[in-house]
Amino acid sequence: MTSSEDDSDIIRIDLTVRSTRANDFGLYRIYKKLPTIDPDEETDVDALADSPGFLPAAGYDERPPTVVFGKTATCLPSPASPTPFYEPYANSSIFRLMEYHHDASSKTITGLQTLVDNVIMHPDFEQDHFAGFNAAAEIHRLDDYISAQDHTASSSSLPWSAASGWHVGSIRIPVPCTRHKCPENEAPVYEVPNFWYRKIVEVVKEAFQGEQSLDYHLRAHKMLWVRRENELPMRCWGEAYTSNRALEMDAELEELDREPGCVLDRCAAWIMLFSDSTHLTNFGNASMWPIYLSLGNLSKYTRGKPSTFSQHHLAYIPTIPDSFNDWYRDQYGIKPPNYIHTYMKRELMQRLWDILLDDDLVAAHQHGVVTTCGDTILRRTYPRFFAYSTDYLEKYVDVDFHNLSYVVDNPAL
């Protein structure tokens, strides 16, 4: 018998992995290193499902909405007393008439029927409500009311502050011009103000300190399914912590030299970022462009529940102000061409991430950050970028994010 034939009869068993028992559905997990906690041990359907018609799950404390802004964030002040539904109008009859006026785009039979059914025949309609009625004044009343609301909102305190880890700064962008040659460090610099952001390391640390961290998976693993006896198990996919990417990150983490004198358990924080410009109103141009941070250590079913508030607000991307056109004309004597506006949007995103990918993040990526987790156990947590999701248009300005994250891995660059 040859040596090759001897080898073919040998069954090799990997003794470096650990396997759990299969559950009632035939699912089991394989670890390279067993975790210190098993968040799925007591998970039930109430922890994974959410609907307005469901009763609150017993044993699960509701998280306040402001937790996404930081643990010390507070709610915006609410009005002292409820206001009537017809505000800012004097009474319900005028409100319904003006509502009909704004909804009716043209004179039609259907619109006439709506006027009769929803205004004139409504139970609370009263002729006396129209004493001294002035149509022009009522139209301006709503405009004045909206302006007053906007002023109040802009002058009121935000639900976050420096105590919640928020910082505000400006983004400096050197601006070029055709036929005006100069080194980049000597080009005129335009500052985009009001960049609100939090440090990535602080957000991750705060997340691991919170009670929700009890549901975090701290070890990447494979999920397998035994469909029938005498069949090979099937690999199951669906969570960040069961992906090959997470397994690779865990393997890289184990190969790192330990910090001198540190015997703490080490774990990766799989950072998942996504952003999407959001239109805030049905009328006007009010919009917001937030960047959210969530952790792949948490099940997608928990992250997808609105009531868990698991998406941490990391930053708000500012827009190039309209005053940039005047600034550019003052600098170069011409109106900024379209390619300059494209350049400004691209550079805004790149320099924004230059701020977010700070020295603290590089240090935490290399050496970890010691954190007292929600189970009161000290661990050394290593931030790792797992995914960044944007819509189709934002890919054009985020295309170089991979290169920026490469710098985190190679700070010497």
Res 95: pLDDT: 84
H or E element at residue 250:
helix 244-255
What distance, in Å, lies between the first and last C-alpha atoms of the chain?
57
Res 279: pLDDT: 63
What are the residue boundaries of the structural domains of the chain, listed by start?
61-72+163-221+244-409, 92-154
Residue type, 47: A
Res 76: pLDDT: 47
Mean pLDDT by 10 residues, the chain (413 residues): 52 65 88 82 68 58 72 52 75 82 72 81 85 83 73 55 78 88 86 92 93 91 89 91 94 92 94 82 66 94 86 91 92 91 90 92 94 92 91 54 50 42
- Would you give the DSSP letter of residue 333? S
Q: Angle of helix 135-155 relative to helix 92-103, nearest 10 degrees? A: 90
Q: Measure the CA–CA gap between 128 and 138, rounded to whole angstroms.
A: 16
Integer CA distances (angstroms), 40 to 20, 55, 69, 244, 412, in order: 12, 22, 27, 20, 40
Res 20: pLDDT: 85
